[in-house]
Amino acid sequence: MIKVFEAFAGYGSQRMALKNANIPHEIVGISEIEGDVILSYAAIHDNLLDERLKSIDMSDDDMRRSLKNINVPLDYRTFENKADKLRGQKLKDIYLANKLSKNFGDIRQINPDTLPDFDFFTYSFPCQDISIAGFQSGLSQNSGTRSSLLWECCKIIEKKRPKYLMMENVKNLIGKNHRNNFDEFLDYLNSLGYTNHWKVLNARDFGVPQNRERVFCISILNDRHSFEFPDTVELKVFMEDLLEKDVPENFYLKNNQVSDSPIVQDYIYCLDSNYWKGTFLSDFLEKKRRQLVSGKRNEMGKYPARRLTPRETWRFMGVNDSDFEKANQLVSNTSLYKQSGNSIVVPVMESIFVNLFKGEI
């Protein structure tokens, strides 16, 4: 049984991959700060939808105090704590979600001495300050950027010395602006006795019709065993296989937003957390915004074009519909779009984990 701690947990894509790959595991804790994301995690993995219907013998002030103790939920842009703004069922839901998911909250405030032991530490830190589509503020240590939260992992790794580490981030991590920081962190891991293996992998090479290149880094303590990244597989599921058949009108673009020339391809371009902001043709025609799909030509000779639905974006991340439905009951479409764009493609990790843990199963 592999004991796992998920830092920057998101909706738990790592946990999904371990489950799908039939790897015996136990999640002993997570670190996540965004309220809606924590709701999704607990709904998918920890039965929040049933637990929220039960009564709680705790006052609102005590629930808020509990949340503040781990500094959640935070505004992702300002890092302002929003616990005092929570009321009613939302307060109860956020409190329960943190408790059920064993969330240790803001990684900046975690004391490693309070953490249980674990074998596998996942730390796919925020990409916003290094992605080409983001702010390009960097990830230098003590810079105060969201991406610099990477360095908060050091205290945990040093104290707990897990056998295995996994990180995923945007391809620009190894670009000229950020490669020095990446190499510095790898050198740090080497100094602790970790052997690092990293590679750029594309989701479309692992059965998912999305052109999503990401850096994956696997680190193994004391060179316990050899590791090789998995071989690619033939793409057998195409874009049209993941699209919904009946889509509400509000997802379709107006005629003045649509080009007469259809774009034909078997996969979508990379989803990001800002996908939901795309509204006009100029947004969609940018390479990063081609999450635009079209049905058959209608009787007017036009191609009815629309945005992907939240469900479809989760499908393109390898998430099954039953998990999506659980999150969909608690959070908005805007949040669902952001969560999928910020997550990790599940089938890619399934292949990695099969290779990584073959000696542990």
Three state DSSP letters for the chain: CEEEEEECCCCCHHHHHHHHCCCCEEEEEEECCCHHHHHHHHHHHCCHHHHCCCCCCCCHHHHHHHHHHCCCCECCCCCCECHHHCCHHHHHHHHHHHHHCCECCCHHHCCHHHCCCCCEEEECCCCCCCCCCCCCCCCCCCCCCCHHHHHHHHHHHHHHCCCEEEEEEEHHHHCCCCHHHHHHHHHHHHHCCEEEEEEEEEHHHHCCCEECEEEEEEEEECCCCCCCCCCCCCCCCCHHHHCCCCCCHHHECCHHHCCCCCCCCCCEECCCCCHHHCCCHHHHHCHHHCCEEECCCCCCCCCCEEECCHHHHHHCCCCCHHHHHHHHCCCCHHHHHHHHHHCCCHHHHHHHHHHHCCCCC
The b/e string for 325-338 (b: 16+ C-beta within 10 A; e otherwise) is ebbbebbeeebbbb
Rounded Cα gap, residues 134 and 170, in angstroms: 11
pLDDT of residue 83: 98
Active site residues: 127
pLDDT of residue 7: 97
Residue 285 in contact with residue 258, Cβ under 8 Å? no
- Return all residues near 200 (Cβ < 8 A) that are at least 6 apart: 171, 174, 213, 214, 215, 216
pLDDT of residue 114: 97
Token representation of residue 31:
């670190």
Which stretches of the chain drop beneath a pLDDT of 70?
127-148, 178, 254-304, 361
pLDDT of residue 76: 76
Please, which residues bridge with residue 2 across strands?
25
Please, which residues bridge with residue 31 across strands?
7
pLDDT of residue 264: 52
Half-sphere exposure of 143 (CA within 13 A, CB side): 16
Rounded Cα gap, residues 337 and 278, in angstroms: 11
Domains in the chain, CATH or no CATH each: 2-233+345-356 (3.40.50.150)
pLDDT of residue 287: 37
- Return all residues near 341 (Cβ < 8 A) that are at least 6 apart: 271, 272, 273, 274, 275, 313
Does the CA dihedral 138-339-108-154 come out positive or negative?
negative
Residue 133 in contact with residue 140, Cβ under 8 Å? no
Which among 8, 346, 20 is positioned nearest to 201, based on CA atoms?
A: 346
Q: How far from each other are the two terminal CA atoms of the chain, in whole angstroms?
A: 8
Q: Residue 314 corresponds to which amino acid?
A: W
Rounded Cα gap, residues 287 and 213, in angstroms: 14
Half-sphere exposure of 113 (CA within 13 A, CB side): 0
